[in-house]
Amino acid sequence: MLKLDFLLGVIGLISVSVLASIAALHKEDIDKLESRFDTSPVRISDQTAPTGLVKPVSVYLGTELPLPSSLVQDVYDDSGRVYISYETEPDINTAGTSEAKIRLQDRFGNNSYLTCPVTVIDDHIAPLIYGAVDLEVSYGDEEFDFMSGITVSDNYDEEPCVRCDTSALDLYEPGVYAIKYFASDDAGNCRIKTVNVTVKAPEDGDMDAYLKQMVNDIYKEIKCRYPIWTARAILNYVHDNMTYDPASCGTSDINEAAYYGFANHKGNCYVYYCMCKVLLDRAGIQNMPIVRCPANPTGHYWILIRYRGYWWHCDATPFKGHEGVYFMLNDNQLDQYHQFDHSAYPARSPSGSHLAIGAVYGQSGQTNVPAADPSSGQVPEDNLPEADEPVITPETDEDLPEDIEAPSSDPEEGDPAQPEPAQPDPEEPADTSSEGGEDEL
Ligand SMILES: [Ca+2]
Ligand SMILES: [Ca+2]
């Protein structure tokens, strides 16, 4: 029937227009013709109500009314669109089973109704927490997993949430702290369990703990408002508190080498690197080692710091003719003593100036940034390595930290100290107009 009406309508439209175009008919003639055909739009008559199936659901007592669409499934109508609404809402404020009446309505006003059972759960029991016991933690042990061994269970919720609040804990201050575990279920019930955490003081012979304590004390002293300032302060600190010593520290272990440097205030370029690394790690500043390549006349270590999406060269090791620190240089700003395999490292900044970043150094008011200008003679010339002194680097591949290739080192050849001034000089006057230093690392 629908198809016949439609065809008659189309034929009518075509017939009238064709006749009008091929003959100069009077209007009354056209009206007569049109009256013989129904040219109105096709009308679809839908008298079939939507269909659907009941979907049993459970809700917690006193929680929000579930969406009516969540109580039905497999909803269908020829028209392609169904409006689902409550005819009668379930009583979710009384525990037990309640009935909801759901209306399915198509766009033509055809309705069908489904009676849906809604189970109302009365859950006032918070999840149980298992495995939360008093703990002992080594000094500065940031890797400690406070969630290890913690499990939770609930009478209804199959996956209750659990978290640990350690905000009151200071891993760098020995003592006893209370930390809290929170477990909650879908009904909103929450259980809190408090345990004591004892942060142990470094023990005799615990070099790692002593190093962490040492690093933390220095970090607290030189920490700045912005990480990039802190990075500069770290490079300065290492530079200013060390005397270059080409002799090997006897280890390639980063912590041991750093400890050697902090304890003896001397070391080779690897010791300088390790000291910078442990301090930058403590500050949460991304860094990675970089080595001279080709290792001519010797190997040399310095450090890359990640900033603004790129890695920048930094080096606290003094060189003759360049006694200051190298800070936030791009590849083009390096001197001939810092050649490296450009393909072996992540992207460095293709341009930009370290001066903008270096501007934070010496900025007025930043009293916690060491005000040293290493190029002003704080490093006695006599302390710098002579041109024929080698830089001692780790002796075997096995001894090297991960991700570092062994630089070839020939003790018979020169060292990183060179008589010619390195350029550019990172101690150039700072561009104080820059705001670059206020970006977070
Ligand atoms: Ca319908
Ligand atoms: Ca529960």
CATH assignment of the domain containing 173: 2.60.40.10
* CB-based contact 156:121 (threshold 8 Å): yes
Ligand nearest, relative to CA of residue 75:
1
Instruction: Tell me: do 258 and 391 sit in the same domain.
Output: yes
Taking the CA of 125 as reference, the closest ligand is 2
DSSP assignment of 205-240 equals: T-HHHHHHHHHHHHHHHH--SSHHHHHHHHHHHHHH
241-253 tens-digit pLDDT: 999 999 999 999 9
pLDDT category at 122 given cuts 50, 70, 90 is: very high
Give dist(CA 159, CA 162) in Å, integer. Answer: 9
Q: On the CB side of 417, how many CA atoms lie within 13 Å of its CA?
A: 23
pLDDT digits (tens, 9 = 90+) for 207-232: 888 899 999 999 999 999 999 899 99
347 in a structural domain:
yes
The answer to whether residues 268 and 160 belong to one domain is no
pLDDT tens-digit map of 341-352:
999 999 998 776
> How many Å lie between the centroid of ligand 1 and the Cα of residue 48?
4
d(C-alpha 337, C-alpha 218), whole Å: 29
Looking at the structure, tell me whether residues 304 and 400 fall in a common domain: yes
CA distances from 308 to 243, 352, 357 (A): 32, 11, 11
pLDDT at residue 362 is higher than 90: no
107 Cα: distance to centroid of ligand 1 (angstroms): 7
Instruction: Determine what percent of the chain falls in helix, strand and coil, rounding each to the nearest 5.
Output: 25, 25, 50
Looking at the structure, do residues 117 and 144 belong to the same domain, yes or no? no
**Which pLDDT band holds residue 411 (cuts at 50, 70, 90)?**
very low
Q: Domain residues for 161?
A: 128-199
For residue 391, the CA-to-ligand 2 centroid distance in Å is 65
Count CB atoms within 10 A of the CB of residue 388. 11
- Which among 182, 179, 178, 200 is positioned nearest to 190, based on CA atoms? 182
How many distinct structural domains can be found in the chain? 4
- What is the CA(58)–ligand 2 centre distance, in A? 14
Q: Which ligand is nearest to the CA of 51?
A: 1
* pTM, two decimal places: 0.56
Sort 180 into a burial class: Cβ within 10 Å, 0-12 / 13-18 / 19+. middle
The Cα 175–Cα 435 span in angstroms is: 40
Report the DSSP pairing between strands 111-121 and 57-60. Answer: parallel
Kindly give the distance from the C-alpha atom of residue 380 to the centroid of ligand 2, in angstroms, as a whole number.
70
Counting ligands in written order, the one closest to the CA of 121 is: 2
| Section 42-66 average pLDDT | 88
Instruction: Work out the average pLDDT over 60-75.
Output: 92
Q: Residues 191, 212: one domain?
A: no
Convert the pLDDT of each residue in 82-104 to its tens digit.
Answer: 999 999 999 999 999 999 999 99
Cα 224 to Cα 227: distance, rounded to the nearest angstrom? 7
Look at residues 169, 199, 229 and tell me which one is the last residue of a structural domain. Answer: 199
Task: Classify residue 41: in a domain, yes or no.
Answer: no
218, 326: one domain: yes
Report the mean per-residue pLDDT for the chain: 77
Ligand 1: centre distance to CA 118 (Å): 27
- Tokens standing for residue 304: 């890359």
Q: How far is the CA of 125 from the centre of ligand 1 (A)?
A: 46
State yes or no: pLDDT of 5 exceeds 90.
no
**Is 192 in the same domain as 246?**
no
Whether residue 321 has pLDDT greater than 50: yes
User: What residues flank ion ligand 2 with Cβ within 5 A?
Assistant: 123, 125, 154-156, 185, 189
Would you state the pLDDT for residue 323? Answer: 78
Are 345 and 289 members of one domain?
yes
Report d(CA 68, CA 83) in Å as an integer. Answer: 10
Query: Which of the ligands is closest to the CA of residue 49?
Result: 1
Judgement on whether residues 340 and 277 belong to the same structural domain of the protein: yes
Same domain (yes/no): 113, 256: no
DSSP 164: E
For residue 149, the model assigns a pLDDT of 96
User: In degrees, to the nearest 5, what angle opens at C-alpha 195 toward C-alphas 193 and 196?
Assistant: 160
- Assess whether 190 and 271 both reside in one domain: no
Residue 90 CA to ligand 2 center (angstroms) comes to 22
Rounded to the nearest whole angstrom, what is the distance from the C-alpha of residue 122 to the centroid of ligand 2?
Answer: 9
- Let me know if residue 44 belongs to a domain: no
Considering every ligand atom, which ligand is closest to the CA of 156? Answer: 2
Rounded Cα gap, residues 386 and 244, in angstroms: 10
Of 150, 179, 199, the one marking the end of a domain is: 199
Contacts of 360 (CB under 8 A, 6+ apart): 224, 226, 228, 229, 232, 366, 369, 430, 436, 437
Q: Which ligand is nearest to the CA of 50?
A: 1
Cα 180 to ligand 2 centre (Å): 19
Distance from Cα 194 to the centre of ligand 2, integer Å: 20
* Closest ligand to Cα 110: 1
The CA 77 to ligand 1 mean position distance, Å, reads 5
329 domain residue, yes or no: yes
Rounded Cα distance between 163 and 152, Å, is: 10
